[in-house]
Structure 1
Amino acid sequence: MARFLIVALVALAMAGCASNVVTDYNSAAVFDNYSSWAFAPVSDNSAFVSLDGNRVRNAIERELNGKAMSKVDAEKADLLVSWRIVEEDRLEQSGVGLGLGFGTGNFGWGLAAPPPVREVKEGKLVVELVDRSSEQVVWRAASRRYLNEDQSPEKRTKLVNEVVAEMFSKYPPGRD
């Protein structure tokens, strides 16, 4: 019993250390040279920013200001910030499966139905920093946590703030 408890505690501790974001970067980029930033011009035809878009923009702005980087016009910025919420479909089982069985001795019959499955739409946040002069992505972060349609506005705001803060805790790279 004690061995099981120790294994469970170690597994729980390791799960708590797992990162909720994945980052990648251009190892040739000199991140100390970047001191200003701007949001990249939006390429789609929409003139409106969504509710989640406002949440993401506010969180990114807060994090980059905390890195002592100046927000400037896109023409003067060292880095352009591009972000998107990538929609993904996931199947989710909810409820309990049912089963019925009968038999005697070493022989029996059983019948079972799996739990109901439903499709859930989720959004994964991806943030990229682009060197304006070379037009190359120099840093990228993607979330392993998802926004979904069932979350309240407060939970969505909290999740976006947490994810963006964790993303930018790994910027600039190599300073862990």
Structure 2
Amino acid sequence: MRFLMISALVLALAGCAGNVVTDYNSSAVFGNYASWAFAQNAGSGAFVSLDGSRVQSAIERELKRKAMRKVPADEADLLANWKIVEEDRLEQTGVGLGFGYGWSNFGWGISAPPPVREVTEGKLVVELVDTEINEVVWRAASRRYLTEHQSPETRSELIDEVVSEMFSKYPPGIE
């Protein structure tokens, strides 16, 4: 019984471990960064969308937890840039059907593939840019997606979870 409980816990933790991928500049000294601001083109739009305001709130919350001060962009050590990258994928919406007949080692069959539809999803990417060298020093990308069928509450929860998991890996090496 103990083995089953430990196995279930390990599987649950392993399932949670891969929702975010991070990368960073190994020559950056992350201890030198104390202030931040949003990049001027964060979100890459003329205005902040509903999901954009959710992302910005989550980033502000997480950087505040890291004891970083939000300052005007011209005074910041880091600029926070984010974007929701749209990706299209095919999704099966049912099961295939088939029938056949035969005898001995020979037979005939016919089948129809399952119905497929194209789904657009959004993947969140957050980057931190060193203002002194104007280069990305840390990047996180989500493996979980926003879809158009999610409710506002679900979208908000997902964004909060993803951003929290992203910044649990910042600064690099502290996990």
Instruction: Give 1:159's aligned amino acid.
Output: L
Deviates more, 1:13-22 or 1:66-75: 13-22
Cα distance in structure 2, aligned partners of 1:173 and 1:52: 26
**What is the count of residue pairs matched by the alignment?**
171
* Corresponding residue SS for 1:75: helix
In the alignment, structure 2 segments of 5+ residues that lack a partner are: none
- 1:7-22 to structure 2, matched below 5 A, reads 12-13=11-12, 15-22=14-21
AA aligned to 1:162 is E
SS at match of 1:88: strand
Q: Is the 8 A contact 2:55 2:160 kept in 1?
A: yes
Return 52-61 or 36-45, whichever deviates more: 36-45
Is the 8 Å Cα contact of residues 38 and 73 (structure 2) preserved in structure 1? yes
Which has the larger displacement, 123-132 or 17-26? Answer: 17-26
Q: Which consecutive unaligned segments of at least 5 residues does structure 1 have?
A: none
Give the Å deviation of 1:10: 9.0
Provide the residue aligned with 2:108 in structure 1: 109
Identity, in percent, stands at 70
Indicate the residue corresponding to 2:147 in structure 1: 148
Q: Give the superposition deviation at 1:44.
A: 8.6
SS at match of 1:154: helix
For 2:95, what is the secondary structure of its paired residue? coil
Is the Cα–Cα contact under 8 Å of residues 43 and 81 in structure 2 kept in the other structure? no
Quote the RMSD (CA, aligned, Å): 2.2
Equivalence for 1:93: 92
Contact between 2:100 and 2:110, CA under 8 Å: does it hold in 1? yes
Residue 175 (1) aligns with residue 151 (2):
no
Amino acid at match of 1:103: G
Residue 13 of structure 1, CA deviation? 4.6
Match of 1:166 in 2: 165
User: What corresponds to 2:72 in structure 1?
Assistant: 73
